[in-house]
């Protein structure tokens, strides 16, 4: 009987440790719970390195995430839907671009607020966009000296 009690105690410790790791992972990745947000839209020439759930940052601080990506068959551009925390109010002339965390880092979506006194409505579209810059194409231009 003593063996069963020890096994039960060890099992409880293992389950508590697993629950702790899950809570830590959820807190670290930002999926700990739903946040109040609104959607905005933008279309890019290239969204290379961006996927669903990618960070949306303003001044380096995460303020949202990418919630939708699909190819527009008429314009051949990537229609992107972004959820932004409801506490963030953007001017309607704001810009949006895909930035890199560094040479070996991943890509994220960066919001650049404009100076308009009118705000972007929920469900609105940011028109000033800049797509991802391909590191390979930049290196090829540098090495070959050709623009393609």
Asked if 133 and 110 sit in the same domain, the reply is: yes
pLDDT for 42:
92
pLDDT for 142:
78
Quick: pLDDT tens for 26-74.
666 655 455 688 999 999 998 888 889 888 999 989 999 999 999 999 9
Pick 29 or 93 by higher pLDDT. 93
- What average pLDDT does this structure show over 17-25? 82
147 found inside a domain: no
18 found inside a domain: yes
146 found inside a domain: no
Asked if 64 and 130 sit in the same domain, the reply is: yes
CA–CA gap between residue 25 and residue 87 (Å, rounded): 25
Lowest mean pLDDT among 79-83, 97-101, 126-130, 144-148: 144-148
Asked if 100 and 56 sit in the same domain, the reply is: yes
Neighbouring-strand partners of residue 68: 81
Query: Residue 141: is its pLDDT beyond 90?
Result: no
95 found inside a domain: yes
Calculate Rg over the CA atoms of the chain.
22
Asked if 23 and 41 sit in the same domain, the reply is: no
- What average pLDDT does this structure show over 75-88? 91
pLDDT for 28:
65
Asked if 80 and 48 sit in the same domain, the reply is: yes
In 3D space, the residue among 103, 105, 96 whose CA is nearest the CA of residue 135 turns out to be 103
The total domain count for the chain is: 2
Asked if 82 and 108 sit in the same domain, the reply is: yes
Range of the domain at 18: 1-33
Helix extents (H) in 30-147: 135-144
Query: Residue 95: is its pLDDT beyond 60?
Result: yes
| Cβ density class 105-138: b for 16+ within 10 Å, e for less | eebbbbbeeeeeeeebeeebebeebebbeeeeee
């Amino acid at each position: 009987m003593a063996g069963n009690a020890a096994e039960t105690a060890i099992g409880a410790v293992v389950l508590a440790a697993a629950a702790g790791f899950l809570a830590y992972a959820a807190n670290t990745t930002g999926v700990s719970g739903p946040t109040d947000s609104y959607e905005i839209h933008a279309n890019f020439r290239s969204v290379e390195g961006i996927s669903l759930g990618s960070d949306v940052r303003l001044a380096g601080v995460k303020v949202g995430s990418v919630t939708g990506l699909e190819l527009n068959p008429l314009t051949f551009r990537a229609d992107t839907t972004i959820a932004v925390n409801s506490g963030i109010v953007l001017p309607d002339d704001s810009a949006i671009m895909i930035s890199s965390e560094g040479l070996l880092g991943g890509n994220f979506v960066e919001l650049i607020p404009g100076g308009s006194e009118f705000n972007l409505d929920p469900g609105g579209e940011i028109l000033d966009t800049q797509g991802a810059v391909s590191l390979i194409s930049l290196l090829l231009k540098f090495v070959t000296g050709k623009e393609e």
